Amino acid sequence: MSKTISIDPITRLEGHGKIEIFLDDKGDVEKAYLQIPELRGFEVFSQGRPAEDMPQITQRICGVCPTAHHMASTKALDDLYKVTPPPTAVKIRELFYNVFMLEDHALHVYVLGGPDFIVGPDAPKEQRNIVGVIGKVGLEVGKKVISMRRRLREIMTVLGGKVIHPVLGLPGGVAKSVPPEDLARFREIAKDGLEFARFTLKVFCDIVLSNKGYVDLITSDAFTHKTHYMGLVDKADKVSFYGGKVRVMSPEGKETDSFEIRDYLDHIAEHVEPWSYIKFPFLKKKGWKGFTEGADSGVYSVAPMARLNAADGMATPEAQKAAEEYFKVLGRPVHHTLANHWARVIEMLQAAERINELLNDPEITGKDIRTIPTATPTRGVGVVEAPRGTLIHDYQTDEVGLIRKANLIVATLGNSARIAMSVEKAAKGLIKAGVVNDGLLNKVEMAFRAYDPCFGCATHTLPGQMPLTVSLRDPQGRVVRELSR
Amino acid sequence: MVLALGNDILGDDAVGFHCVRLLRDRRAGRPGVDLVETGESGLAVLDLIEGYDRAVILDAVVTRQVPPGTILEFSKADFQRLRGSSPHVSGLPELLHVAERTGMKMPSVLAVLALEVETPDTFGETLTPGCQASLPGFVRRCEELLASWGH
């Protein structure tokens, strides 16, 4: 009798999700996948709206990474109106964006995904959270996280008017220059931000890397997939969060594709499965060959580990040094999903270093912050590296700039095929002949929590509403057994 | 303070915002209560409620365990009980615990009013008719709570 096991909803992610595991007649896992709640009606919602409203509208899609949507949308407007922002405007955007990356990554490391490692994967479940992190590394760290995050957000508030739903980006530039009187304070925050990133790397190295058990877990087969990797790189082919060209690396670490985002439809296509409304983007040149690994498969991955794999190195010196150590320990390219946690910390370091570079750049307080668009709009595509991977906004408009069609490829989707493979691999290792191993829930969750998937839903964090349940269903879809905690 | 959580372009998810907007009209000219809307969650919520003596948090929920329109209420005592109920929730209970341990001044009284809704996942700027019909009761319950605190 084939059965379906559902784990619903996935907790401690940004938004809600659900895992479906199908069993075959023998009770072994036939396939497993991650179901993401669909947000409906965005196309209709955006049609007919002025394109310049999109940076404000799209950032409301998600309460977690509004800045990524705001920036991708702003860049799509640059392309739509064929306008190049002045250098100061680009630097201000980059400053704002790196502050966001540092803050968002810190949230994941200390609050969302990191507790599995900082507290320990085998620690009692009640401790694998921020409370446990404080218990393990000390109250001072908790204070540091909260205060650092707040101070970084001060910079965002000054530049964007407000942290959530900023009003910074405009086609061809930004709305506000960096006030010279705030520069000294910003530099102070940036210096502390860099210290904070260094400290985080030390915490990670001390706790995780010095523990052979953790390293074995990271490199274990259950959490390993050899796929392609995608990320934005700068002119020197180094990791870039704000912009550059898209680069794709093969599982052997060879560049297989490189393109400007405007041409993405020639390089990325989306596969649809009958059992899911989630789309599975894949490399067009390779074609869709199923949920398979290897150089011939079109499956690719995004987010920190993929970004580090796709680039020749980090764009800043300390991050580069940290990345060298990372590749020395794990090999290159890195195929271990859980390495995303480590790569994320290295990216925190790059973001912090870049913030310092930008704030010490004489151009950052320049007043030339806008190039006024004059072209007639038709279509515009923008891209950034969101914390969770490559984020693409593509708008088509009429001649006065009203949206006809808006297509977003959100970051988590870039990992959807690989996440499905991770969930399936973990499930196959833990369910045999219908017997569900107790470690199932956490191991399967760990398999995809490392991707930091964001489901872009509304942000509900009330107590007790996110229990983890496993439902076994018969072929007719009836629940025959339910486990929950 | 009254703090509404939600997403203002996701239909019923914004019911807290609609409630706060009505409260703003109904309480016009009566100081003492700050009425705030936010699309944020997690640690950012702590920043917003820090320093207040008492706070009501409004939100939309989908538990599918109670009929739509039901108001679910939680207090700090519930948070004590519920903390750690699931290993992977970084919800208000844990965050409050962290905030208090790290010396942030959190409200001594905290209530959560959550309205059960059916469709918080469809883009739109209006509430569904069912949710709209539940709104007056949600506003009333919030006002009762504020009245019991002397507001």
**Tokens found for residue A271:** 């596969």
Test A130 with B79 for CB contact under 8 angstroms: no
Q: Which of A60, A461, A485 sits opposite B9 (nearest CB)?
A: A60
Integer CA distances (angstroms), A149 to A61, A89, A130, A202, B42, in order: 22, 24, 15, 18, 12
Please tell me whether residue B73 adopts helix, strand or coil conformation: strand
Cis peptide before A281 (omega within 30 of 0): no
User: CB of A285 within 8 Å of any CB in chain B?
Assistant: no
Please, what's the largest Cα pairwise distance for chain A? 71
**Residue whose tokens read 């297509």:** A407
3-state secondary structure of A440: helix
CA–CA gap between residue A267 and residue A28 (Å, rounded):
36
Locate the chain B residue with the closest alpha carbon to A122. Answer: B87
Q: What are phi and psi of B37, to 5 degrees?
A: -115, 140
Non-local (6+) Cβ contacts of B123 within 8 A are A39, A40, A41, A42, A44, A45, B9, B10, B11
To which residue do tokens 């998810």 refer? B13
**Using the beta-carbon criterion (under 8 Å), do A462 and B103 form an inter-chain contact?**
no
Residue A453 C-alpha from the chain's centroid: 6
Q: What one-letter code names the amino acid at A147?
A: S
* Pick among 3.30.110.60, 3.40.50.1450, 1.10.3720.10, 3.40.920.10: CATH of B2-148: 3.40.50.1450
Residue B106, amino acid: M
B122 and A464 within 8 Å at the Cβ level: the answer is: no
Q: Name the more confident of A276 and A414.
A: A414
Asked whether the beta carbons of residue A125 and residue B99 sit closer than 8 angstroms, the reply is no
Contact residues on chain A for B115, CB-CB shorter than 8 A: none
Residue with tokens 């208000």, as numbered in its chain? B92
Q: Give the pLDDT score at A439.
A: 65
Segment A99-115 mean pLDDT: 85
Residues of B in contact with A57 (CB under 8 A): 9
The reply to whether B93 touches chain A by the CB within 8 Å rule is yes
B101:A150 CB<8 A: no
Q: Does A38 touch chain B (CB under 8 A)?
A: yes
* Mutation choice for A interface testing from B43, B78, B119 by most A CBs within 10 A: B43
- Which position has the token pair 């001390």? A206
Residue A472 has pLDDT above 80, yes or no: no
The whole-angstrom distance between B15's CA and the closest CA on chain A is 12
- Chain B, 116 to 145: residues with Cβ < 8 Å from chain A are 120-124
**Model pLDDT, residue A395:** 96
Share of chain A above pLDDT 70, in %: 83
- pLDDT computed for residue A140 by the predictor: 86
Indicate if the pLDDT at residue B132 is higher than 60. Answer: yes
CB contacts < 8 A (A, B): 158
Taking residues A190-201, what's their average pLDDT? 96
Judging by beta carbons within 10 Å of its beta carbon (0-12, 13-18, 19+), is residue A348 exposed, middle or buried? buried
- State whether A142 and B101 contact (CB < 8 Å): yes
Domain with CATH 1.10.645.10 in chain A: 84-222+336-372
Element (H, E) at A391: strand A389-397
pLDDT at B144: 96
Cβ–Cβ of B101/A165 closer than 8 Å? no
The percentage of residues in chain A with a pLDDT greater than 90, rounded to a whole number, is 54
**From the CA of A382, how many Å to the nearest CA of chain B?**
22
Contacts of B42 in chain A (CB under 8 A): 107, 111, 459, 461
pLDDT value of residue A214: 85
Closest CA in chain A for residue B112: A462
* Residue A17 pLDDT grade (very low, low, confident, very high; cuts 50, 70, 90): low
**Partner B contacted by A485 (CB < 8 A):** yes
Contact list in A for residue B117 (CB cut-off 8 A) is none
Contact check, Cβ <8 Å, B86/A485: yes
Look at residue A10 in the predicted model and tell me its pLDDT.
Answer: 37
Task: Measure B54 CA to nearest chain A CA, in Å.
Answer: 18
pLDDT confidence band for A18 (50 / 70 / 90): low
- C-alpha B120/C-alpha A254 separation (Å) is 44
Residue A19 pLDDT exceeds 90: no
Inter-chain residue contact A463 with B91, CB threshold 8 Å: yes
CB distance from B36 to chain A under 8 Å?
Answer: no
| A interface test, pick of B82, B88, B115 with most A CB neighbours within 10 Å | B88
| Residues forming beta bridges with residue B14, ordered by sequence position | none
Residue whose entry in the numeric block shows the structure tokens 């989707």: A413
Q: Answer yes or no: CATH 1.10.645.10 is held by domain A84-222+336-372.
A: yes
Residue A169 pLDDT more than 90? yes
B98 inside 8 A of chain A by CB: yes
Q: How do the domains of chain B map onto residue ranges? A: 2-148
Q: How confident is the model at residue A41 (pLDDT cuts 50, 70, 90)?
A: confident
Nearest to A111 among B10, B42, B78 (CB): B42
Higher pLDDT, A407 or A284: A284
Considering only residues A462 and A254, tell me which one the structure prediction assigns the higher pLDDT: A254
* pLDDT value for A425: 84
Touching check for A438 and chain B: CB below 8 Å? no
pLDDT in tens, B16-71: 999 999 999 999 989 999 999 988 777 778 888 999 999 999 988 877 778 999 99
Reported as a single tens digit per residue, the pLDDT across A386-404 is: 998 999 999 999 999 999 9
Contacts of B45 in chain A (CB under 8 A): 461
Residues A421 and A423: their CA atoms lie apart, in Å, by: 6
Chain A hits for B74, Cβ within 8 Å? 462-464
CB distance from A144 to chain B under 8 Å?
A: no
- Per-residue pLDDT band for A16 (boundaries 50, 70, 90) equals very low
Minimum Cα–Cα distance from A41: chain B residue: B123
Q: How confident is the model at residue A11 (pLDDT cuts 50, 70, 90)?
A: very low
> A459 and B40: CB-CB below 8 Å?
yes
Q: CB A150 to CB B9 under 8 A?
A: no
CA B93 to each of CA A130, A169, A292, B42, B79: distance values in angstroms, whole numbers, following the listed order: 11, 35, 41, 10, 5
**Which of A154-158, A390-394, A472-476 is least confident?**
A472-476
CA atoms within 13 A on the CB side of A120: 13
Q: Could you give the 3-state DSSP secondary structure of residue A98?
A: helix
Check whether A266 has a pLDDT greater than 80: yes
Q: Is A281 exposed, middle or buried (0-12, 13-18, 19+ CB in 10 A)?
A: buried
Which chain B residues touch A139 with a CB distance below 8 Å? 101-102
User: What are the chain B neighbours of A60 within 8 Å (beta carbons)?
Assistant: 7-9, 39
pLDDT of residue B150: 93
Q: Work out the average pLDDT over A426-433.
A: 78
Nearest CA in chain B to A57: B9
